[in-house]
Structure 1
Amino acid sequence: MDWFKLSLQLNKFPIDRAQKTLEKIQAIPEEHYETYLLEKQREIVDYHLKNNSFYKDFFGRESFSTWENVPVMTKTDLQQKLENRLTKGFTKYTAYIGKTSGSSGTPFIFAKDKFTHALSWAGFQNRYQWHGIDLNKSLQARFYGIPLDLYGNIQERIKDRISLRRRFPIFDLSEQKMEKFLKRFQKSNFSYINGYTSAVLLFARFMVTKNLVLKEVCPNLKLCIVTSERLFKKDRELMQAAFGVPVVNEYGASEVGLIAFEDQNNEWIVNSEDLFVEILDEENKSVPSGTEGNIVITSLYNKAHPIIRYKIGDTGILSVKSTAKKPILEKLIGRTNDIAKLPNGKVVPGLTFYYVTKSIIEDTGNIKEFIVKQITPDSFSIEYVSQEVFSKDQQQKVIQAIETYVGKNLQVNFERKSILKRNKSGKLKQFISEL
């Protein structure tokens, strides 16, 4: 049974058509690839200019002239009601609707047409096969969070079961919980690990303290994939020693899908099939390969919602070895998260606050930016920028979410600000520990 394909087909995502399209794109010769990209860039701009009133107003011109004149959009530009941004012919019920994680501190709701969403998954399947992982057959140990409300929890576990994923919730990464994780590996034939870098790293450190290699207790293990947070060289080396398998970097975002994935030679290959990825300077001008700049992404196929020259909030460098068909991400800057340590000894990755932010994201554009700071082991501060002050009901909703996902008996202070402090690169970290 092809479980991966079945799970997409049950949700009416045309995965067969997407895989055939991907194969056709990959068959385009290098010498014709730049032409393919230019045609798709113009095509998606023209489509949204004709069919999307939000994008037409944002574009500010009547028609496409040159790519350099296409305006760059930011997350703030997309923080308004989704109904205002949907392309003609699409609704919340006919498109795939998702929420960004808010890991940059600037959340919003987005839409993809179902073919584009299927094409993203076809890309993931293709990359995983580079390392001998088949999403239809390989069992995944998934180090992610999970909704803790009854309906959301059941729904996610059903999806996990169909998709050959077994969840290792990251809300509690204490040593006692790690012992339970280890026992699951001893009893199951996991093919690969997939999860947030900080959570997987904590498990690797636990394995080192136990003087165990994970592959020796789980012989079927082939690979570890880390995502959402920066992977440092020393951390990769520690993980590989602790797990006994290669560790590869995945770079993606829910609103655009797979951005880059490491191949067998540890080259971070950028997705050039359904995305066009640029590196721009602060004036939104293209920089030469080998030069650091802002990562700007265009979704070449998404007809439900314009994601065109979208500044994702990360900075990076493209290798000088890059070509139109095979861009190589030499360096990704940012995407690190601290770890929260609670008075009872519980250890919580900073990315856990992704699940808290989901409870305060409103499809109104009211919440513009926010950061969560741990001040003491039992006190946190939430600084936010919004059109209106958080009401008592909104504050209570956040406190309840923190109790659910992080821990009880924690003090939470809310502070509205006109602007939030960023680091030198301009990145806004969602979670900061001041311990």
Structure 2
Amino acid sequence: MIEQFYARSPVFLQNIYISIYGYYWKRRRYGGCFSEKLKEFKQHENFSEEQWIAYQTFELRKLLIHSYTTVPFYRKKYTEYGFTIQDFENFELEDLQKLPYLEKDELRKYGTTTLLSNKRGKGKFYNSSGSTGTPTQIYFSKKFHQTWSALYELRVRNWAGVNYKLPRAMIGGRRVILSDKPKPPYFRYNKAESQAYFSAYHISDNTAKEYVLGLQKSKATYLVGYAMSIYLLSQSIRKQNLKAPKLKAVLTSSEKLTTTMRTIIENTFQCKVFDAYSGVEACGLISENKKGELLFSPDSGIMEVLDSNGKNLNYGKSGEVVATGFLNYDQPLIRYRIGDSVKLSENQKTFSGSKMLKIDEIEGRIEDVIIGSKGQKMVRFHGIFVGIPSIIMAQVIQKTLNQIEIKLVVENSYETNFEKVMIDRIKSQLGEVLINFSYVNEIEKTTNGKYKAVISNLKNG
């Protein structure tokens, strides 16, 4: 009902609604322990290698004891593996690989029940479909939200020379424009946070001018959002010979940022791009400093980089990320197979002098681009599946300009009337297209053993 009321409202009222929500959101993230945690994380940045080892050992033991005693999922699983509370009181970092993985399907099944601590703070769930289309729900208490916001503020925004108080623009996954016949402006304004929220679903050569005008009108000083969406917008701006406003920084995330993408974005907005990697799961943060170094924050958790046999890789190698988050005690994620990969730097010496783990490349996944009937390009389709928990895994395939196939792996509780929900969501983004559903036992993997959430059979120019 709220979504329908919002969709029928004029733009100025939509901006008011978003500003009211923005006020609540601002207080939730930047109130409470935010300032205290900001100072705490700042003190860690000069840690020596020995101090980081001691810090992580202490935090890991504390997390494991808490999880074993208050989280039914871990109590049951670790007991079955023969662990006792005494084992965790003397646990070492090298012992971590003795623990079983937390699989994505386990998070999906138990994330709202036995994976929650019985001493959790008051909070709410946020949806993350993940790169494979697998819907999961991550629990954020206020304290965890404020702690994570402090880490992001320091290691992402501040490292890029900006802060949350500056006017900013964002290109993200929220569907702020719900009309099936969209028209300018292609953003909505959150006055409470001086934030212009641009649609990721209407970027095209034909709309680029309106996006530039929106950036100018909002007086944004920096831009945040999906790497591919910002890249596609930059391409369209250049094709149309438009002049984008000069920004202080562009902060990218969610998709792999290639060298070509970085160059085009930097030339378009006349500023440096700062890449980062985390996800809604918030169980680890990689971010880029002013020296262009990608560093993993050891106070966000432990990031194992493993080979196909589950063994730690040497520096200079690429491998699977297995994450253990230190900040979320309400829904702990321990040895979580998040599904992405990174390449460790062979030379761990940093220009900045930091002793944080240095990363050469956030490999992640490069998803194909889907083209709409009016030329709009998009890569993010997770919103299609939000609120349909009986979907285990999904894949969007563009056969032709007007034909989309959705492959689904579903549970027995799935109802076919969910198809209409997904069709309406897709058409609101792409316009009139023919949508076919295929129900399969599994989604095929690529040659490197990964899943692709989005595939296009078109040649994207």
User: TM-score scaled by structure 1?
Assistant: 0.87
Q: How many residues align?
A: 412
Which secondary structure does the structure 2 equivalent of 1:295 belong to? strand
Cα distance change on mapping 1:428 and 1:29 into 2, 3 Å: same
Counterpart selection for 2:125 from 97, 115, 135: 97
Q: Which residue of 2 aligns with 1:143?
A: 171
Q: Structure 2: how far apart are the matches of 1:135 and 1:258?
A: 20
Q: Which residue of 2 aligns with 1:237?
A: 263
Kindly report which structure 2 residues correspond to 1:153-168, keeping only aligned pairs within 5 A, or say none: 160-168=190-198
Q: Per-residue displacement from partner, 1:83-106 (whole Å, max 9, x unpaired)? A: 232111237xx1242111332222
Cα distance change on mapping 1:172 and 1:80 into 2, 3 Å: same
Over the aligned positions, Cα root-mean-square deviation in angstroms equals: 2.5
Q: Structure 2: how far apart are the matches of 1:143 and 1:112?
A: 23
Structure 1 stretch displaced more, 164-173 or 382-391: 382-391
C-alpha contact 1:339 1:347 (8 A) present in aligned 2: no
Pair 1:402-2:426 in alignment:
yes
Pair 1:432-2:460 in alignment:
no
Q: Which residue of 2 aligns with 1:200?
A: 230
Q: Per-residue displacement from partner, 1:307-345 (whole Å, max 9, x unpaired)? A: 011111011122133389411111222321222223x32
C-alpha contact 1:98 1:255 (8 A) present in aligned 2: no
Cα distance change on mapping 1:429 and 1:313 into 2, 3 Å: same
Which secondary structure does the structure 1 equivalent of 2:315 belong to? coil
Letter in 2 for 1:140: R
Q: Structure 2: how far apart are the matches of 1:268 and 1:400?
A: 40
Which secondary structure does the structure 1 equivalent of 2:224 belong to? strand
Pair 1:392-2:416 in alignment:
yes
C-alpha contact 2:369 2:377 (8 A) present in aligned 1: yes
Q: Structure 2: how far apart are the matches of 1:6 and 1:345?
A: 36
Letter in 2 for 1:424: T
Q: Structure 2: how far apart are the matches of 1:328 and 1:41?
A: 21
Pair 1:247-2:273 in alignment:
yes
C-alpha contact 2:224 2:252 (8 A) present in aligned 1: yes
Counterpart selection for 2:313 from 264, 271, 287: 287
Q: Per-residue displacement from partner, 1:198-236 (whole Å, max 9, x unpaired)? A: 21112211222233442xxx34x2111111111111121
Kindly report which structure 2 residues correspond to 1:112-191, keeping only aligned pairs within 5 A, or say none: 112-127=140-155, 128-136=157-165, 138-148=166-176, 160-191=190-221
Q: Which residue of 1 aligns with 2:292?
A: 266
Q: Which residue of 2 aligns with 1:20?
A: 39
C-alpha contact 1:389 1:416 (8 A) present in aligned 2: no
Which secondary structure does the structure 2 equivalent of 1:380 belong to? strand
Which secondary structure does the structure 2 equivalent of 1:142 belong to? strand
Structure 1 stretch displaced more, 16-25 or 329-338: 16-25
Deviation at 1:28, TM superposition (A): 3.9
Which secondary structure does the structure 1 equivalent of 2:109 belong to? coil
Letter in 2 for 1:109: Q
Q: Per-residue displacement from partner, 1:70-95 (whole Å, max 9, x unpaired)? A: 2121211212141232111237xx12
Q: Structure 1: how far apart are the matches of 2:213 and 2:176?
A: 23
Which secondary structure does the structure 1 equivalent of 2:169 belong to? strand
Deviation at 1:145, TM superposition (A): 3.0
C-alpha contact 1:105 1:428 (8 A) present in aligned 2: no
Q: Structure 2: how far apart are the matches of 1:5 and 1:149?
A: 20
What residue ranges of structure 2 are gaps of 5+ in the alignment?
A: 1-21, 179-186
**Identity %, equivalent residues:** 22
C-alpha contact 2:133 2:382 (8 A) present in aligned 1: no
